[in-house]
Amino acid sequence: MNSDDDDFRIGVPGAGRSALAPAAPVPPLGGLTPPARPDAHEPELRPGETELGRPPQVPSDLAALSLDDRAALKLLDDEQAARDVAEAEMLLAADPTGLGWLGWFGSPLAFALLMGTTGVLGVFLFNQTASLLTTLAAIQDDWLRYTGYAGLGLFGLCVLYSFVRFVVIYVRMRENRQLRIKGIKELSNRTRLRWLAALKSAEARMQIETYLKTYPIETEKDRRGLRTLGLTDEAIAQLRVVRAELLDHDKFASTDQWFARFRDGFQSVIDAAADTRTKYWASRIWVVTAVAPNAVIDSGATLFYTFSMLSDLCQLYNLRAGKAGTAVLMGRTFFNAYLAGQGTEWEKLAEDQYDQLFHEAMNTVGVGVSANLVGKVVGKVGAKVTTGYLNRVLLIRLGRYAARLLRPVTKD
């Protein structure tokens, strides 16, 4: 059945509806007829157009990338990756030198300190040695004078031997690249850098594994050398057991547990031995500098015991410090030697103070004795003991600083 809608076409009449007349043509503007185009029946298409008369609508960000766009994107990716690696290195790298925010200028400042203290110590030792030689030359007895020359030369050879031994041991050791466990944890907490944290953790673990494999503990000769440095048989046995555990890749569930086991089971044993060895040399420098009669002997003894202690610490950790750390270490060594030589000047002040305190104490308790001689002896002994103890404190501080430089892993 047909309806009116079926015949609702333009110009076709229907029931109740008249035919629609076609629309009259719109006259051209100005009453002029536009010129006829010879190719009007064949439209000219521009690039990207279709016969519909409209180019395809494609969003600009979905267009195909050009070679320049690809190169720019690759450059941005490389720069971001470089920034990520630099950030990871800053988080993982420790600052054992203690320079903190001066890290950018750490090496120049450290070497400037080293050069300054070396110059000051050199001038001081030259003047004191010249004065000592003049004193020896004034001695009338030939045997006593030549004995003094021989003793001074032997003492100088001992100091030189300790320095050469330290340099030989130090050069043979592998440079320490200290790892910061706190930095690894902080790096793993950052979502953007988790892939880099896993990579850096694996590299750090391989570095420590290399350290474990090269630590001299295999042969009896190596173990005998460690015993001379203060490691007992029980400590050496613990080091071997812990090393075997750490080299077993199936032993630990995570890298954090592995590093914790290394720090608490292996490195802590070496730390305890290093602290004991530091106190061993500190006790000797206390006695020697307390009875030394001359500033040259004080400075020379300080250098001898310091270089001996540093040699032992390098052998215990089987590592050496970096460039900046070495410069700071040597600068502090020479500065301590200079302070030890200046102890004779402080002894006079300390001697007077001890003498005065002794007399006041005697007067307080009502002891009326002629304590002039006793007071002078107490003042002299007290001043010597005090300066020797100060040298001991300085050597202990230097030894603990050196141990902090040589530790393979730090928690902070």
CA distances from 353 to 359, 367, 369, 374 (A): 10, 19, 19, 14
Q: Cα(326)–Cα(170) distance, rounded to whole angstroms?
A: 10
Q: Which of 177-186, 238-247, 323-332 has the highest mean pLDDT?
A: 238-247
More confident residue, 276 or 180: 276
Please report the pLDDT score of residue 219 as a whole number: 87
- Which tokens go with 43? 């439209």
Q: Cα(270)–Cα(334) distance, rounded to whole angstroms?
A: 26
Question: Does the pLDDT value for residue 9 go beyond 90?
Answer: no
Q: Which of 54-63, 214-223, 252-261, 335-344 has the highest mean pLDDT?
A: 214-223
Question: Does the pLDDT value for residue 371 go beyond 80?
Answer: no
Question: Does the pLDDT value for residue 271 go beyond 90?
Answer: yes
What is the dihedral sign for C-alpha 298, 387, 230, 332?
negative
Q: Cα(285)–Cα(301) distance, rounded to whole angstroms?
A: 7
For 150-211, the DSSP string reads HHHHHHHHHHHHHHHHHHHHHHHSEEP--EEHHHHHHHHT-GGGHHHHHHHHHHHHHHHHHH
For the chain, percent of residues with pLDDT exceeding 70:
60
Class of residue 209 by CB neighbours under 10 A (exposed 0-12, middle 13-18, buried 19+): middle
Please report the pLDDT score of residue 293 as a whole number: 78
Class of residue 253 by CB neighbours under 10 A (exposed 0-12, middle 13-18, buried 19+): exposed
Q: Cα(121)–Cα(337) distance, rounded to whole angstroms?
A: 7
Give tens-digit pLDDT for 206-236.
888 999 999 998 888 889 999 999 899 999 9
Q: Cα(368)–Cα(375) distance, rounded to whole angstroms?
A: 13
Alpha carbons within 13 angstroms on the beta-carbon side of residue 37 total: 6
Q: Cα(177)–Cα(171) distance, rounded to whole angstroms?
A: 15
Please report the pLDDT score of residue 277 as a whole number: 95
Nearest Cα to 274, choosing from 400, 395, 163, 94? 400
What is the dihedral sign for C-alpha 27, 32, 38, 42?
negative
Q: Cα(31)–Cα(19) distance, rounded to whole angstroms?
A: 30
Q: Cα(367)–Cα(30) distance, rounded to whole angstroms?
A: 139
- Which tokens go with 239? 């080091």
Question: Does the pLDDT value for residue 109 go beyond 90?
Answer: no
Q: Cα(370)–Cα(42) distance, rounded to whole angstroms?
A: 136
More confident residue, 114 or 198: 114
Please report the pLDDT score of residue 68 as a whole number: 74
Q: Cα(411)–Cα(392) distance, rounded to whole angstroms?
A: 28
Average pLDDT over residues 14-35: 53
Residue-averaged pLDDT of the chain = 76
Question: Does the pLDDT value for residue 133 go beyond 90?
Answer: no
Nearest Cα to 175, choosing from 62, 350, 318, 315? 318
Please report the pLDDT score of residue 169 as a whole number: 93
Give tens-digit pLDDT for 336-347.
999 888 876 666
- Count Cβ atoms below 10 Å from residue 104 Cβ, excluding itself: 9
Q: Which of 103-112, 183-192, 364-373 has the highest mean pLDDT?
A: 103-112
pTM to 2 decimal places: 0.70
Cβ pair 337, 299 in contact under 8 A = yes
H or E segment to which residue 286 belongs: helix 268-291
Nearest Cα to 391, choosing from 335, 326, 325? 335
Average pLDDT over residues 146-174: 91
- Which tokens go with 55? 């180019």
pLDDT band with cut points at 50, 70 and 90 for residue 356: low
3-state helix, strand, coil in the chain (%, to 5): 70, 5, 25
More confident residue, 215 or 46: 215
Report the alpha-carbon angle 208-171-282, nearest 5: 85
